[in-house]
């Protein structure tokens, strides 16, 4: 359908990365849960901050927030989200307000793909308790 | 014998990244990891403890990772630094490598790569250090003498992983209760990470010969130092002069011997080497604060005076604070702060 983006497979890279952090002995499992929990808690707030900074034309803040999201998303294997955030980061550093504004919907879409996967993982861990 | 675990300082303002790197290097890699959220905190940590590798993010509050790298190259030459960044462009990698980073990793980094890189750098760094590590003995007549004279320099030696010992020949009975002063000496040595050889000879009546000489000889025999710091002969205090003379005899086979300034130094004290202690001044003041019974009673322990004295000597030694030394002989590379200038070098720097 015209205007619809291609679906991006996000679950596999996330699960692969989390398994890498967890390690073969599962010793990193508590860290995985902490990273996922922290991301689910902070990312919506950071996205809102990013949108506000973009609307206000505050490029330094937009760059800082986008840059931080690149790191945290990358840590969890949310590669598509990290890439979209890095585009916004780069545009904000170059002071390109229009590009920053144009970069926000792809960031939000990428987050919308990632969030349910992480929520699902968290639900599974809670069920295992 | 099991080697000490590698010591790594990690700097990142993102708590999640710190947790991840700490987990990889600490839990998986068996390294001792210390974390900091900014470069200024990291520099303080690095002035206080040995470190095999620094891992730092580029984007930090205040001083950036690349600025930190430049400072480390001045103050800690040879310390391996790994730069990590989430910047997608190659310009940052080029900039980091031009700034002399040992390795550059891009976030999200492969966890095994990080472990491999840090292990390799730590291992090669230790090999280099072992080849150039000093065994340092500081000899003083009374508790607090060596900390006043070379507290900053000894802290610099400690930070680069040198082995330290302090010889104190009396327990300072003239300055207070000896039990308290002994405890203070032990606290200062512990803070410094130095072994303490504490004798109990008679304050103000130290002879040049035995038992002063034999006690110093015994410490030298056990420590096998290649660097010794002691009192200057240019000193009003008879104990200081006696310790100087006894040390000169006992240390006749030690490659490097230098004399420090005491509060009782005469105007004839003529230093010919100056060690910048900018990063160690706070540590020096902390060492002196261990001598609680003396801080209130002795004007010369006033932190303002200690700081002002170091500030004064920096006009010769570079940096902002320096400790002066009369170098008797130097057959090692006596450069623990990497900012030690001889008088001749300093005078040359005035020539335009």
B72 min Cα distance to partner chain A (Å): 25
Q: Which pLDDT belongs to residue B333?
A: 55
Query: How many whole angstroms separate alpha carbon B230 and alpha carbon B337?
Result: 18
Q: How confident is the model at residue B202 (pLDDT cuts 50, 70, 90)?
A: very high
> What pLDDT digit, counting tens, does each position of A6-54 carry?
556 889 999 999 999 998 888 889 999 999 999 999 999 999 999 999 9
Among A75, A82, A86, select the one facing B20 at the smallest CB separation. Answer: A75
Tell me if B197 sits within 8 A of B220, measured CB to CB. no
Tokens of B323: 């400790």
Q: What burial letters (b/e) apply to B166-181, b meaning 16+ CB within 10 Å?
A: bbbbbbbeebbebebb
Sheet with B227-231, strands from edge to edge, namely B195-201, B163-170, B135-140, B227-231, B256-260, B322-330, B273-276, B340-342
Q: Which pLDDT belongs to residue A1?
A: 41
Give which of A125, A73, A52, A6 is closest to B16, Cα–Cα: A73
> CB–CB of A71 and B107 under 8 A?
yes
Give which of B351, B20, B276, B99 is closest to A77, Cα–Cα: B20
Give which of B239, B217, B237, B238 is closest to B228, Cα–Cα: B217
Is B23's Cβ below 8 Å from some Cβ in A?
Answer: yes
pLDDT higher at B172 or B192:
B192
Q: Is the pLDDT confidence value at B338 over 80? A: no
> What pLDDT digit, counting tens, does each position of B224-259 carry?
999 999 999 999 999 999 999 999 999 998 989 999
Is B19's Cβ below 8 Å from some Cβ in A?
Answer: yes
Q: Which pLDDT belongs to residue B206?
A: 95
Taking phi over 0 as left and psi of -120 to 50 as alpha, with beta for the rest, B298 belongs to beta
A1 min Cα distance to partner chain B (Å): 32
Give which of B336, B148, B162 is closest to B260, Cα–Cα: B148
A100 min Cα distance to partner chain B (Å): 16
Instruction: Give the SS3 label for residue B160.
Output: coil
Tokens of B14: 């993102």
Give which of B82, B115, B126, B119 is closest to B100, Cα–Cα: B82
A120 min Cα distance to partner chain B (Å): 21
> CB–CB of A31 and B23 under 8 A?
yes
Q: Which pLDDT belongs to residue B260?
A: 97
Of chain A, the end-to-end C-alpha distance in Å amounts to: 42
Query: How many whole angstroms separate alpha carbon B325 and alpha carbon A24?
Result: 56
Q: List the single residue in A with minimal CA-CA distance to B58.
A: A67
DSSP B62-97: SS-HHHHHHHHHHHSTT--EEEEE---SHHHHHHHH
Sheet with B103-106, strands from edge to edge, namely B32-36, B7-11, B53-57, B81-85, B103-106
Q: List the single residue in B with minimal CA-CA distance to A20.
A: B111
Among A23, A28, A71, select the one facing B86 at the smallest CB separation. Answer: A71
> CB–CB of B89 and A70 under 8 A?
no
Is A35's Cβ below 8 Å from some Cβ in B?
Answer: yes
> CB–CB of B16 and A82 under 8 A?
no
Q: How confident is the model at residue B94 (pLDDT cuts 50, 70, 90)?
A: low
Query: How many whole angstroms separate alpha carbon B17 and alpha carbon B277?
Result: 33
Using only C-alpha atoms, what is the Rg of chain B? Answer: 22
Q: How confident is the model at residue B297 (pLDDT cuts 50, 70, 90)?
A: confident
Q: What is the mean pLDDT of chain B?
A: 87
Give which of B113, B26, B13, B114 is closest to B63, Cα–Cα: B13
What are φ and ψ of residue B110, in 5° steps?
A: -70, 130
Residues 51-70 of B with CB under 8 A from A: 57, 59
Query: How many whole angstroms separate alpha carbon B88 and alpha carbon A46?
Result: 20
Q: How confident is the model at residue B169 (pLDDT cuts 50, 70, 90)?
A: very high
Is A112's Cβ below 8 Å from some Cβ in B?
Answer: no
Q: Which residues of chain A make contact with B110, given a CB cutoff of 8 A?
A: 20
Tokens of B166: 């302090």
Q: Which pLDDT belongs to residue B95?
A: 67
Q: Cis ω on the peptide bond leading into residue B216 (within 30° of 0)?
A: no
Tell me if A14 sits within 8 A of A122, measured CB to CB. no
Tell me if B8 sits within 8 A of B55, measured CB to CB. yes
Quick check: pTM over 0.95?
no
> CB–CB of B107 and A75 under 8 A?
yes
What are φ and ψ of residue B312, in 5° steps?
A: -60, -50
Is B20's Cβ below 8 Å from some Cβ in A?
Answer: yes
Tell me if B81 sits within 8 A of B42, measured CB to CB. no
Tell me if A50 sits within 8 A of A105, measured CB to CB. no
Tokens of B62: 């205040």
Query: How many whole angstroms separate alpha carbon B246 and alpha carbon B249?
Result: 5
């Amino acid at each position: 359908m015209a205007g619809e983006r291609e679906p991006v497979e996000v679950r596999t890279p996330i699960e692969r990365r989390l398994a890498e952090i967890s390690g073969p002995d599962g010793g990193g499992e508590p860290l995985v849960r902490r990273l996922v929990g922290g991301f689910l808690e902070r990312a919506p707030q950071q996205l809102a901050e990013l949108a506000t900074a973009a609307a206000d034309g505050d490029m330094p803040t937009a760059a800082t927030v986008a840059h931080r999201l690149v790191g945290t998303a990358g840590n969890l294997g949310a590669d598509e989200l990290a890439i979209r955030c890095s585009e916004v980061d780069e545009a904000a550093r170059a002071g390109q307000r229009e590009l920053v504004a144009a970069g926000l919907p792809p960031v939000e879409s990428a987050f919308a793909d990632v969030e349910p996967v992480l929520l699902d993982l968290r639900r599974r861990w809670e069920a295992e308790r | 014998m099991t080697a000490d675990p590698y010591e790594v300082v990690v700097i990142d303002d993102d708590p999640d990244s710190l947790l991840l790197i700490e987990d990889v290097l600490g839990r998986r890699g068996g390294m001792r990891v210390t974390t900091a959220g900014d470069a200024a905190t990291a520099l303080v940590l690095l002035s206080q403890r040995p470190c095999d590798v620094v891992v730092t993010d580029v984007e930090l509050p205040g001083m950036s990772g690349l600025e930190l790298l430049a400072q480390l190259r001045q103050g800690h030459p040879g310390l391996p630094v790994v730069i990590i960044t989430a910047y997608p462009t190659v310009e940052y990698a080029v900039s980091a490598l031009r700034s002399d980073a040992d390795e550059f990793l891009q976030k999200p980094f492969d966890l095994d790569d990080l472990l491999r890189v840090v292990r390799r750098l730590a291992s090669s760094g230790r090999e280099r250090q072992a080849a150039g590590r000093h065994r340092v003995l500081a000899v003083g007549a009374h508790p607090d003498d060596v900390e006043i004279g070379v507290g900053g320099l000894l802290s610099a030696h400690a930070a680069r992983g040198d082995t330290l010992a302090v010889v104190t020949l009396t327990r300072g009975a003239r300055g207070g209760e000896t039990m308290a002063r002994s405890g203070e000496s032990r606290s200062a040595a512990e803070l410094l990470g130095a072994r303490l050889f504490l004798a109990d000879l008679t304050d103000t009546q130290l002879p040049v010969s035995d038992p002063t000489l034999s006690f110093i000889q015994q410490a030298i025999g056990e420590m096998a130092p290649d660097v010794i710091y002691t009192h200057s002969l240019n000193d009003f205090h008879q104990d200081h002069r006696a310790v100087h003379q006894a040390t000169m005899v006992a240390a006749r086979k030690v490659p490097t011997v230098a004399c420090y300034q005491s509060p009782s130094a005469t105007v004839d004290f003529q230093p010919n080497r100056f060690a910048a202690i900018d990063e160690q001044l706070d540590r020096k003041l902390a060492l002196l604060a261990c001598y609680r019974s003396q801080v209130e009673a002795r004007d010369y322990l006033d932190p303002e005076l200690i700081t002002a004295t170091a500030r004064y000597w920096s006009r010769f030694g570079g940096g902002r604070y320096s400790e002066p030394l009369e170098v008797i002989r130097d057959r090692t590379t006596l450069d623990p702060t990497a900012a030690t200038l001889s008088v001749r070098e300093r005078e040359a720097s005035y020539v335009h």
